[in-house]
Amino acid sequence: MDTTVDLDTFSSLVERPDESARRAADERWQEAGRPRGGLGKLEELGSWLSSVQGRSPVRPVSAPKVLLFAADHGVAALGVSRLPAQGGTAARVRAVLDGSAPVARLAARYGADLRVVDVAVDSDPADFPDEVVAHRIRRGSGRIDIEDALTPEETVRAFRAGMAVADEEADSGTDLVLLGDIGVGSTTVAAVLVGALCGTDAAAVCGRGSGIDDRVWMVKCATIRDSLRRARPVLGDQLALLGATGGADFAAITGFLLQAAVRRLPVVLDGVVSSACALVAQRIAFRAPEWWRAGQSSGEPAQAKAYDRLTLTPLQDQGITVGEGVGAVLALPLLQAAGDALAEEAPRPFVPTAPKEQPKLPSAADLLRRL
């Protein structure tokens, strides 16, 4: 597939988090006179924050952002979800924007800003504020069991849109992204991507999503099976895979995750959609998962397989299946606590043995100019 995005660039640009800062954070716990492991997972999270920030003592999380990518999917017309295929995604976006959705209330409770990026909601763009539809690619995506979700050109545009959003967040001072999605039928699409990348059959990745019964599960499983047949021939080309059996939101989230890693912006993943995109991104840049943490386990079998392949352990297991970033937001207090605890212990500041000038991190525009 001929594109203007050189995916190999990401493999060289994505570096590992700062290991010296991580070691310094580990030493601080020991020097503070506390029993090793006394704060459990908070110690590991504090060390991870130090490494992604590249400093010790760690800087407490102060500017978290809930980021939701929204899109409709053609497979929803097959009845694979309990939510309405027509207008269901748009209604959920409106609920987030007016503050009535659970994720909006939780974000306000924990002091996180909230942003919705509409990349392919099947509604009139005038229904939402300009800043929400600024990166819209199209209305809805194709029915992936019989046709491509996107054209090659749309796939590249969606991927670039995700990169641009990562730059916008990094430039605005966001220090932690809580990543989620809004879209009827999206768990079906995610299951296809995970099944294709992990080499499993449809039944092994088909979950209950929105709470479907056995009859609908069988319809969903058959849809995943047919879509997997279309996914396997393009497994060697990640952009082609996202265009054939993904969608605008999946392409955008994948681009976002990779560019966020380039910009050293840590991300907390939410449900099966973000984990499927993370799996695609890992195929492009193998070091990228070190910049992410899994917020929660939703109980979706595809998510469990993706996290196993990514070697990520969910921070919580609340069984939340609603999506919309709720599981990622619930992990925020843990990360805030880890940052606060490690920062407050601080027996002495970390001084690098060989200070080095930090390179200017390339933006999406910089990357595209090189091509």
Catalytic machinery residues:
324
Cα distances (Å, whole numbers) of residue 285 to 17, 118, 142, 288: 14, 26, 27, 6
What distance in Å separates the CA atoms of residue 12 and residue 100, rounded to the nearest whole number? 42
Separation between Cα atoms, residue 96 and residue 109, nearest integer Å:
14
Tokens standing for residue 241: 């895979």
At 99, list the tokens.
């503050």
Q: What does the alpha-carbon distance between residue 128 and residue 293 come to, in Å, rounded to a whole number?
A: 31
Cα 116 to Cα 122: distance, rounded to the nearest angstrom: 15
Lookup: tokens for 180 = 């989620």
Tokens representing 252 are: 């955008």
Q: Strand order of the sheet with strand 267-269? A: 113-120, 64-71, 176-182, 267-269, 292-294
Residue whose entry in the numeric block shows the structure tokens 């990357």:
367
Query: Phi then psi for 225, rounded to 5 degrees?
Result: -60, -50
CA–CA dist 186, 108 (Å, integer): 26
Name the CA dihedral angle for 338, 263, 164, 128, rounded to a multiple of 10 degrees.
10
Selection from 319, 271, 317, 265 nearest residue 292 by Cα: 265
**DSSP code of residue 296:** B
Residue found under tokens 């102060």: 62
